[in-house]
Chain A
Amino acid sequence: MTGSPQPVVFRRVVCRYGRSIAVKRVDLTVSAGEHVAVTGANGSGKSTLLRAVLGLHPLAAGDILVGGESANGTSGWMARRRNVAWVPQRLTPGRFPLLVDELLGSAIDCDVARDSAGDLGVAGLLRRPLHTLSGGQLQRVFLARALGCIAGGAGVLLADEPTAALDFAGQEQVAAMLAALPATVIVVSHDRAMSRTCDRIAEMAAGRLRIA
């Protein structure tokens, strides 16, 4: 089952790390099915903004609505995370091995995730622990997992530099794949192929967001 794309609304979002403010009153409305690329200098707050959508970073002020609802309480966040597929920028290298197949199995629709792994050229790695993959292989596996979540009903994709470690052919392929995705997409990317296929480009600078 495929869910329908959901709008994502940021309302005066503020995120802090202790005293320093990483995201400063960001307002952004992404309508259902729209694809937005977020660019901006290193350290300008892009990852923090995306992580806040998933509740991985707390909001100091403001609100984020997905599908018109803000997330509250354990069950609220569970529903939010089910609704939002996620490609992290980097993986905290776990102390513990996890197999590629186990990661793909954590997608909402694992069959689609495994098929997508085939499309992305990493089907031969299913039995490998994640920490033995190359950077690009790892990104392909996370993309495949996210595609499995979308196929399983998530209406939003948040991808944090999903093509940063990919070769040129991979960047083109992934840009085309995301462009065809029936979901709302917010993708942090410095890659031209990706920004060309998006409907809009937003730029972050020192925690503030500007629509280009």
Chain B
Amino acid sequence: MQQFLDLLTLPPVQRSGVALLLAAIALPIVGVFIVGLDIVAVRFAVMHVALLGIAVGFLTGLDPMLCGLAACAIAGAGVAPLAQRPSGLPGAMGLLMTFAIAGALLVLSVSGVNATSAFELLWGSILATRPVDLVVLAVLAAVIHLLFWRYRRPLALLMFDRELALCSGVPARLLMLVLLIVVAVAIGASIRLTGALLVDAVTILPALAARNLGHSLRSMVLLAVSFGFAGNVCGFALALALDQPPGPVLVLVAGAFTLVTYLLPEGAFNASTAARQDDDRDLRGAVPADSLRQ
């Protein structure tokens, strides 16, 4: 125990702890967007886009990391027009990934940059978190929360049905554009910060768990953040206690939480909603649905 507490006093451990907490409150929301838009392949696509950006950075002598993030933002904006077709986005992600891999390999080869060094820049490690990384994460977290809480009604409509959103006066095209840019940049930055493996643990796994239990966009986001938080805290503590690398341990812990939600019987979580429904009926004094239909 003493040894465990001693570990917590080390600055790198503290920094990675803060990074994981920041990630836990923001990235699961991105995960909910990803699941809602049915673009789980986005993380692979974005990873290769970031690699392409980094390669361009090496080639031009600009900051490779910034180039990587800029490439993510451009790619996010670039696929947005494809979202106008109902099934356009999931397919677009596969296409984007293929293009990005090819582009990255070509640019790396042309520039003579060693592919491994480009990859190394991309594959971060949570224990190597620098103070500047924390700033990036904090800004990202703020933007994501602002986007969600400010626009959650239009977002809920947009993810439910694009046409319905359009008919309700939601500027669907603009909102989708912003959404895709935020998703792409968040994924790109978190790959860099937490390593590719951890992106799933803090982004997609909590969202999948939340989808199994939530009934609305809002409840899903709250559940996803709770799952992300619980997974990160437990996983990180366990990794320190066992003296093992945090990445794999975190993924296993978050994965176990998610697995449990698949095993719960469907509707196990509905009891509270059903009770609330009856409240609604009483409060409004409305006629129960069935009596009018006789």
Interface residues of A, Cβ cutoff 8 Å to B: 54-56, 74, 77-78, 81-82, 86, 88, 91-92, 94-99, 102-103, 105-107, 118, 120-130, 137, 167, 169-170
Interface residues of B, Cβ cutoff 8 Å to A: 35-36, 38, 86, 153, 156-157, 159-161, 163-164, 166-169, 171, 173, 214-217, 220, 273, 276-277, 280-281, 284, 286-294
Check A92–B289 contact: CB distance below 8 A.
no
Partner of B216, one of A88, A98, A107: A98
Nearest residue, chain B, Cβ from A107: B168
Q: Which residues of B contact A77 (CB under 8 A)?
A: 166
Q: How many Å from the CB of B38 to the closest CB on chain A? A: 6
Nearest residue, chain A, Cβ from B294: A169
Question: Given A92-B86, A169-B294, is A122 in contact with B289 using a C-beta cutoff of 8 Å?
Answer: yes
Q: How many Å from the CB of A97 to the closest CB on chain B? A: 5
Check B293–A167 contact: CB distance below 8 A.
yes
Partner of A95, one of B38, B214, B291: B38
Check A99–B161 contact: CB distance below 8 A.
no
Nearest residue, chain A, Cβ from B274: A127
Q: A105 to B216, alpha carbons, bound, how many Å?
A: 14
Given contacts A96-B160, A102-B153, A124-B289, 14 further A-B pairs with CB under 8 A are A56-B163, A81-B166, A81-B167, A92-B161, A95-B159, A97-B215, A102-B157, A105-B153, A106-B168, A118-B287, A121-B293, A122-B289, A124-B281, A169-B293
Check B38–A137 contact: CB distance below 8 A.
no
Check B36–A96 contact: CB distance below 8 A.
yes
Q: Which residues of A contact B163 (CB under 8 A)?
A: 56, 88, 92
Partner of B287, one of A56, A74, A81, A123: A123
Q: Which residues of B contact A129 (CB under 8 A)?
A: 215-216
Question: Given A102-B157, A122-B289, is A74 in contact with B171 using a C-beta cutoff of 8 Å?
Answer: yes
Check A123–B289 contact: CB distance below 8 A.
yes
A-B contact pairs, 28 of them (CB 8 A): A54-B166, A56-B163, A56-B166, A56-B167, A74-B171, A78-B171, A81-B167, A88-B163, A88-B164, A91-B164, A94-B160, A96-B159, A96-B160, A97-B160, A97-B216, A98-B161, A98-B217, A102-B216, A106-B164, A118-B286, A121-B290, A124-B286, A127-B273, A127-B280, A128-B273, A128-B277, A169-B292, A170-B293
Q: A169 to B291, alpha carbons, bound, how many Å?
A: 12
Q: A130 to B160, alpha carbons, bound, how many Å?
A: 10
Q: How many Å from the CB of A2 to the closest CB on chain B? A: 18
Q: Which residues of A contact B286 (CB under 8 A)?
A: 118, 123-124
Check B216–A94 contact: CB distance below 8 A.
no
Give the interface SS of chain B, mostly helix, strand, loop or mixed: helix
Q: How many Å from the CB of A118 to the closest CB on chain B? A: 4
Q: A51 to B154, alpha carbons, bound, how many Å?
A: 21
Check B156–A98 contact: CB distance below 8 A.
yes
Q: Give 4 nearest A-B pairs by CB, closest first.
A: A123-B286, A121-B292, A98-B160, A106-B168
Nearest residue, chain A, Cβ from B170: A106
Nearest residue, chain A, Cβ from B291: A121
Q: Which residues of B contact A74 (CB under 8 A)?
A: 171, 173
Q: A54 to B166, alpha carbons, bound, how many Å?
A: 9
Query: Count the A-B residue pairs with Cβ separation under 8 angstroms: how many?
Result: 104
Q: A107 to B153, alpha carbons, bound, how many Å?
A: 12
Check A125–B156 contact: CB distance below 8 A.
no
Q: Which residues of B contact A55 (CB under 8 A)?
A: 166
Q: A123 to B173, alpha carbons, bound, how many Å?
A: 32
Nearest residue, chain B, Cβ from A140: B289
Check B153–A94 contact: CB distance below 8 A.
no
Check B289–A137 contact: CB distance below 8 A.
yes
Nearest residue, chain B, Cβ from A93: B161
Q: A169 to B35, alpha carbons, bound, how many Å?
A: 40
Q: Which residues of B contact A54 (CB under 8 A)?
A: 166-167
Question: Given A96-B159, A121-B292, A121-B293, is A82 in contact with B281 using a C-beta cutoff of 8 Å?
Answer: no
Q: A123 to B292, alpha carbons, bound, how many Å?
A: 11
Q: Which residues of B contact A88 (CB under 8 A)?
A: 163-164
Question: Given A96-B217, A118-B287, is A102 in contact with B167 using a C-beta cutoff of 8 Å?
Answer: no
Check A118–B284 contact: CB distance below 8 A.
yes
Question: Given A98-B156, A118-B284, is A125 in contact with B161 using a C-beta cutoff of 8 Å?
Answer: no
Q: Which residues of B contact A98 (CB under 8 A)?
A: 156-157, 160-161, 216-217
Q: Which residues of A contact B164 (CB under 8 A)?
A: 88, 91, 103, 106
Q: Which residues of A contact B161 (CB under 8 A)?
A: 91-92, 94, 98
Q: Which residues of A contact B168 (CB under 8 A)?
A: 81, 106-107
